[in-house]
Amino acid sequence: MVGCKVDESLKRVEVGGFAFPLGVYPVEEMAPRPGYTLHFEPADGDDDGEDWEEWPDRYVFDIVISAARVESLCRLLFAMLPGRVYPILDILGHDAHREVDPYIAYELVSLDNFLDGVRRFREFFYEDGLCGFGAMAEEPFLYVFVDEHKIVTVRAEPALKERIEKLLKAFDLEQIDEPAGADAASHEHRSVLSLPEDNPDMLGPEEIIERLRDDWQLLLNIDPDRNVDDEGNDLGPTPWRCIVRASFEKKPPRYAEVLLIADCLRAAEDASLNAVENLVGKKAAEALDDLVVVATDRTTPEQFETLLGGKKRLAKPPVKSPGKSSQPQAKPGGPSRPASPRADLPGDGDPGATDPHDDTVEHAEPQVRSCRWLV
């Protein structure tokens, strides 16, 4: 069965009986303090006249618990979710201008589907220091998210508050002023998975992310029409490395790498798909079943030149020209997304407010520099 496996050479850090996840651990002396904080957040409805779903009044629990018990706690919290949920996945990825790749489902998926992914890749979710995950639902309103430090955040409507408090008490967790996990001190993150050559069913992080994007219907939750860094600075045209999966009717899928210059995600994805269509060629296109962009990372100019083999230098940004794309249009306040879930809570989406999408806005014409098969 497809799954993943922890690198058995890694050693777990424990302090005073408190176990840290294998993938995130303190690098200075500290005293971990299990427990939780609790505060109230009022309903945050539509202040801009847009069709955003209002989040109700809710209580927020931030929970620090030993790595030895976090999976058991989450199993019981996830059991409180209804039959259909919005999965969430955060990845500390490879993008040169964004620390976290925030993925979210724009459509409801079954809870069984979500839990099957969690069970299948449990070592990745509960031990790896480069990912966070969770799910949310509207009826009842419940949001459960495990961040990359394996600190659990729960947002719940008031009717669920007492039930969650009883659950935390069963784990000997008390409300305290300052719980302390790995993020309370200088710490390091690392990936923890091994890739045994004799077992191809054991997947690495990139393969797991690709599978979860398919199974959970995840989309990268950033504004597809702006090219900004984590501080909201407009970057203009930048180098991109995109990976496209080409599925065929009667043979295994192939993956292509596309290196290009583009000024937004929408343009990068569309140009990558067009480039791979050309790579496939008209004759083989009849057997082509689907093309899917599975990774889109911006690079530095130095990284881009290395990827190109050091043979080409970056040209000046291309002249801007009007253009459109097939990506969903962005709305004020964040990337295009359904009324729920919102992207301004952990796992985060693009933090800055955005201008309404305008088809008259000029975009730089993407410039594809390389397109080749990887496998």
Residue 339 within a domain: no
For position 198, what pLDDT does the model report?
84
Residue 203, pLDDT > 60, answer: yes
CB 182 within 8 A of CB 24: yes
Q: What is the pLDDT of residues 137-190, one digit of tens each?
A: 999 999 999 999 999 999 999 999 999 999 999 999 999 999 999 999 999 999
- 81 band by pLDDT with thresholds 50, 70 and 90: very high
User: Cα(257)–Cα(125) distance, rounded to whole angstroms?
Assistant: 27
Examine the fold and report which residue of 137, 166, 194 is the final residue of a domain before the chain moves on. 194
In a domain, 289, yes or no: yes
pLDDT at 70 (0 to 100): 98
Q: What percent of the chain has pLDDT above 70?
A: 83
Regarding whether 127 and 61 lie in a shared domain, the answer is yes
How many domains does the chain fold into? 2
The stretches of 176-231 forming alpha helices (DSSP H) are 205-215
Domain final residue, candidates 167, 194, 221: 194
pLDDT of residue 189: 96
301-331 pLDDT, tens digit per residue, is 999 999 998 544 444 333 333 333 334 333 2
Domain hosting 190: range is 5-9+18-43+55-194
Domain-located, residue 155: yes
Show the tokens assigned to 352: 């800055």
Write out the DSSP string of 306-318.
HHTTSS--PPPPP
Mean pLDDT of 212-239: 96
pLDDT at 323: 32
Enter the pTM of the model: 0.84
Residue keyed to tokens 């069970």: 119
Let me know whether 177 and 293 are in one domain: no
Could you tell me if 273 and 185 lie in one domain? no
Q: Are residues 144 and 280 in the same domain?
A: no
Q: Is the pLDDT of residue 338 over 90?
A: no
Does 189 share its domain with 64?
yes
Same domain, 153 and 273: no
Q: How far is CA 317 from CA 79, 263, 300, 375, in A?
A: 51, 9, 14, 31
Q: Which residue has the higher pLDDT, 18 or 338?
A: 18
Residue-wise pLDDT tens digits, 41-62:
999 765 554 445 678 999 999 9
pLDDT at 283: 72
